[in-house]
Amino acid sequence: MDSSLNGIVRHLRGLYGRRNSIFLSSLMIRITFLNIAARDVQTVVRRNVGKDIIAIALARVFARVIAVADNFKELDITRGMFKKYPINYSDGISISYCSYCGSNNCKCPNERHSESKYLSRIGFVPSEIYSWKINHWCFHLEEIYGEKNKKKSIDSLVLRLYTEVSELMSLQALIPEINNTDEIEEQFSYEIADVIAWIIAIANYLNIDLEKAVLDRYGEGCWKCMKNPCNCGHFDFKQMDF
Ligand SMILES: [Zn+2]
Ligand SMILES: [Zn+2]
């Protein structure tokens, strides 16, 4: 399997795409399903059940945000990540920077409500970015936000993940007002990138290897039926059992 972020996304689409299209037949249902997994992260962190369980909870959020992306035919998650969490190239040196404050060591106030002024202006995504593994993204985001996030509490990071999921819901409600399909996909790719970024923030904060967590759960096929594509029936909308 191609172990780049892009490859893992394709793998998850192949694994669950069929089941998603039968049992998660609307965008709203997919976001609701994601929301349940985000709430589970909150629960496991609060109960302090240990890193192994938190890693599973984070992998579930990851898989479910990919299910949201899968609602769109060709939504490019890597491009969304690159635009929202950019890299500056000059003189052969690449520098990660925050798309809100423009600094390579984010200096945004904690409650920022501004727009991303510094979205990557590079029109195309450099091809090397498509080969980035989840671990590369973890490292990249740690460079920009690690120091800042270390000063926060884990609860505030988890709350932030939850907020990003609700932003997806708000965006979903706004769709009828966006009269341009490209723009709808673009906005969703940014919001999905934000959800992934906050999964990564939590994993980094807790020293959890997110890439391993995702591959452990989904790399060999469905964690439950062990098949690829998954051959399970309907999804369970209940909270995770610990
Ligand atoms: Zn910033
Ligand atoms: Zn299955």
Say if residues 151 and 34 touch (Cβ distance below 8 Å).
no
- Is residue 120 scored above 70 in pLDDT? no
CA of 106 to the centre of ligand 1 (A): 4
Ligand lying closest to the C-alpha of residue 97: 1
- Is residue 51 scored above 70 in pLDDT? yes
Distance CA 42, CA 157 (A): 10
CA of 202 to the centre of ligand 2 (A): 27
β-partners of residue 133 are 4
Helix or strand holding residue 96 (H, E): strand 93-96
Say if residues 198 and 161 touch (Cβ distance below 8 Å).
yes
CA of 128 to the centre of ligand 2 (A): 33
Which sign, positive or negative, has the C-alpha torsion 159, 23, 187, 138? Answer: positive
Q: Which residues of 28-42 are buried (b: 16+ CB within 10 A; e: fewer)?
A: ebbbebbbbbbbbbe
Q: Is 219 left (phi over 0), alpha (psi -120 to 50) or beta?
A: alpha
What residues contact residue 19 under an 8 Å CB cut-off, 6+ apart?
A: 229, 230, 232, 235
CA of 230 to the centre of ligand 2 (A): 4
- Is residue 41 scored above 60 in pLDDT? yes
Residue 206 pLDDT: 97
- Is residue 113 scored above 60 in pLDDT? no
CA atoms in the 13 A half-sphere facing the CB of 150: 9
Spell out the domain ranges in the chain: 5-84+156-218
Ligand lying closest to the C-alpha of residue 230: 2
Tabulate helix, strand, coil % of the chain (nearest 5): 60, 5, 35
Helix or strand holding residue 39 (H, E): helix 27-47
Q: Could you tell me the pTM of the whole model?
A: 0.94
CA of 189 to the centre of ligand 2 (A): 26
- Residue 28: band (very low, low, confident or very high) from pLDDT cuts 50, 70, 90: very high
**Amino acid occupying residue 178:** I
CA of 99 to the centre of ligand 1 (A): 7
CA of 108 to the centre of ligand 1 (A): 4
Three-class SS of 123-181: CCCCHHHHHCEHHHHHHHHHHHHHHHHHCCCHHHHHHHHHHHHHHHHHHHHHHHHCCCH
CA of 57 to the centre of ligand 2 (A): 17
CA of 38 to the centre of ligand 1 (A): 24
- Residue 102: band (very low, low, confident or very high) from pLDDT cuts 50, 70, 90: confident
- Is residue 50 scored above 80 in pLDDT? yes
Ligand lying closest to the C-alpha of residue 112: 1
CA of 76 to the centre of ligand 1 (A): 24
- Is residue 78 scored above 70 in pLDDT? yes
Helix or strand holding residue 95 (H, E): strand 93-96
